[in-house]
Amino acid sequence: MNPNLSVPRVVDLRSDTVTLPTAAMRRAMAEAEVGDDVFGDDPTVQRLEARTADLLGKEAAVFVPSGTMGNQIALRAHTEPGDEIVVESEAHIYYYEGGAPAALSGVMCRCVAGRRGVFRGTDLESVLRPPDVHFARTRLVCIENTHNRGGGSLWPLEAILDVAATARRHDLRLHLDGARLWNAAVATGIPERDYAAPFDSVNVCFSKGLGAPVGSALAGTREFIARARRFRKQFGGGMRQAGLLAAAALHALEHHRERLAEDHAHARYLAAALARLPGVGIDPDAVQTNIVRFQVTRQSAREWVETLAAAGVRVLATGPDAIRAVTNLNVNRADIEYAAGVLARVAASEARQTQSSPQADEDPAVPPNSSSAPR
């Protein structure tokens, strides 16, 4: 076939949230049995909540419209205004949720700097203060697995247990932002329930790698989830015939969990290809799941994003010199090979441009450098 006659390809790697529902998922949605879930009448939502609680080894779960709402309801249910929570300094809860801890729960965030999002019990210990009227009451510790800004990094189970033991010793509650916990489980073979066991509450997303159009769930004890339901209503997250959405999430749980391994393989392929390019900084060994973060040197990340988009490869700039690509359900092996080819062409053309410019005698080799990856 003449390649010039083929339809221009668009490979969208901006996020794993850009996926479109599959035909089978749309059928499951169309056929879902529904009712008014605020009255507790939606059997499909109830099935999703029970299935999620079971996968996470928790007593109960509540379906919510977004991961942000799941996290923020958890903060609200665990704390009182004026309390302090401990979060990693680049955690989604702190970095990407619009200041919600302050706006919705009236809590202060105490940040701990992790290494690619992962910290230890001693790091937690270092920000704790004794009970005293001068101090905010520290109440909750949050962990994110996999860690988004850490580049889809995995929390070792042993580090989780270390932080959890410290938290227990100080009578602190523990929340897991597991938007991509499904990816962690597939990457390591550690079941979701084992990861979830040390936590009082766990938030998971169906709308990321699993490919559902909408929805997350918060899981915990029956008592905690009953309290969380009250805050879901208060925050405006009570939905009526939500079984249409829950059906997509159930379909995703049953059919799209194991295939996350393909996304991880595609991410590794892309990382290995990037590591061979001039003007690109990446530590391919740091790519553990479906997120590929890399640095660009010769042109700004914004310029790279524009050039790549014109060639049909969509990625996100996450800093002046930082780019993120996320593999997902709608991207197959041929797409990822195409994206790697486009990246190679862009890098080569930039290298030529720079060599003919006055800065040409600068060292063109950018060593793979893990410390340049955003933490």
Ligand X SMILES: *Cc1c(COP(=O)(O)O)cnc(C)c1O
Which residues in this chain contact ligand X in the complex, by CB under 6 A? 66-68, 71, 92, 144, 148, 177, 179, 205, 207-208, 216
φ/ψ (deg, to 5) at 73: -65, -40
* Cβ pair 292, 267 in contact under 8 A: yes
Nearer to ligand X, 184 or 273 (CB): 184
Nearer to ligand X, 68 or 79 (CB): 68
Nearer to ligand X, 175 or 208 (CB): 208
Nearer to ligand X, 79 or 145 (CB): 145
Nearer to ligand X, 138 or 207 (CB): 207
Nearest-CA neighbor of 143 among 226, 231, 203? Answer: 203
d(CA 280, CA 227): 48
Quote the tokens at residue 165: 């033991």
Least distance from ligand X to the Cβ atom of residue 257, Å:
17
Least distance from ligand X to the Cβ atom of residue 205, Å:
5
E-assigned strands of 245-350?
280-281, 291-296, 313-314, 316-319, 322-326
C-alpha 70 chain-centroid distance: 13
Helix (H/G/I), strand (E/B), else coil: 154:
coil
Paired sense of beta strands 291-296 and 322-326, if any: antiparallel
Least distance from ligand X to the Cβ atom of residue 177, Å:
5
Helix (H/G/I), strand (E/B), else coil: 139:
strand
d(CA 245, CA 214): 6
Least distance from ligand X to the Cβ atom of residue 17, Å:
7
Residue number with the smallest Cβ distance to ligand X: 67
Least distance from ligand X to the Cβ atom of residue 9, Å:
26
Q: Work out the angle at residue 79's Cα, subtended by the Cα atoms of residues 56 and 47, and round it to the nearest 5 degrees.
A: 30
* Cβ pair 18, 11 in contact under 8 A: no
Least distance from ligand X to the Cβ atom of residue 149, Å:
8
Least distance from ligand X to the Cβ atom of residue 179, Å:
3
Least distance from ligand X to the Cβ atom of residue 255, Å:
20
The one-character DSSP state at 118 is B
Amino acid letter at 198? P
* Cβ pair 326, 183 in contact under 8 A: no
